[in-house]
Amino acid sequence: MKTRREFLFTTGKAAMALGLSQSVASAFANNTKATQQATAQFAQKPLPYHLDALQVAIDAQTMDIHYNKHAAAYCKNLNEAYAAEVGTKQKSLEDILKKITKYSEKMRNNAGGHFNHEMFWQCLTPATTDIPEKLSQKITEQFGSIDNFKTQFTDAAKNRFGSGWTWLIQTNDGALQIISTPNQDNPLMNISKQKGKPILCLDVWEHAYYLRYQNKRADYITNFWKIVNWNFVATQLS
Ligand code: MN
């Protein structure tokens, strides 16, 4: 996929090739830029680490395909669904997710897909740390120990049938809960059986691990714990 800079460059060059002057070519490029900004509502944030930085758990090729192809496609398709179903009104992604039953299947899959992946990248880091005290206490209070929490989360991830996600969420009453959602659904959606604020998530679609782990999802989950960005996860707590 072309970056905006490359896109503008080629657009400008194309205009010049058509015999337009430099200033017309540049105005054409600027106009295209404005149109792009008006239509592309959502964009992927740059990854906060290199593609090969998480190799202890996830290889560079998987990260490349996952971020640059799968997640990019969710974002592109979300923008299409938004243009078709929301149009010029302004709605946040969270607003859409909370009323997802008002929208199409395409919106459900791609609004979820974009939100979930953007959160997932933030949950990972090449430099994992101890769990910050406040979060560690809260997890221990709720699950008995950090190890129990990890075991329960791991089981939920292993037992997710087919494609989906595993989540640690904070419910309205402040409690922590481990849940799992199918496909690209998430706990912000009104159709989710268990709702709450996402604190930590794990993608268990085969595209997230199959190149390296094949059918061994359990090994992928074991290694996931080596790259959790606990500092980010702790900031998600209310
Ligand atoms: Mn994915």
Cβ(140)–Cβ(225) below 8 Å:
no
Distance 19 CA to ligand 1 centre (A): 45
Ligand 1 centroid to Cα of residue 66, in Å, is 6
Ligand 1 geometric centre to CA of 113 (Å): 7
Residue with more model confidence, 13 or 102:
102
Whole-number average pLDDT of the chain: 89
User: Looking at the predicted structure, is the pLDDT value of residue 5 above 70?
Assistant: no
Residue 39 has a pLDDT of: 59
Q: Quick: pLDDT tens for 138-188.
A: 999 999 999 999 999 999 999 999 999 999 999 999 999 999 999 999 999
Distance 28 CA to ligand 1 centre (A): 36
Helix-helix angle 4-17:22-39, to 10 degrees: 140
Residue 40, pLDDT score: 82
Find the 231 Cα to ligand 1 centroid distance in Å: 22
Give the distance (Å) from ligand 1 centre to CA of residue 61.
14
Task: Give residue 116 CA to ligand 1 midpoint distance, Å.
Answer: 8
Distance CA 223, CA 230 (A): 15
165 alpha carbon – ligand 1 mean position (Å) = 9
Tokens of 143: 């699950």
pLDDT tens-digit map of 195-218: 999 999 999 999 999 999 999 999
Q: How many CB atoms lie within 10 A of CB 204?
A: 22
pLDDT of residue 229: 98
The answer to whether residues 209 and 62 touch, using CB atoms and an 8 Å cutoff, is yes
What percentage of the chain has pLDDT greater than the value 90?
A: 83
The model's confidence at residue 226, banded by pLDDT at 50, 70 and 90, is very high
Report helix angle 105-123 to 72-85, nearest 10. 140
Whole-model pTM: value is 0.84
CA of 4 relative to ligand 1 center, distance in Å: 24
The residue type of 70 is H
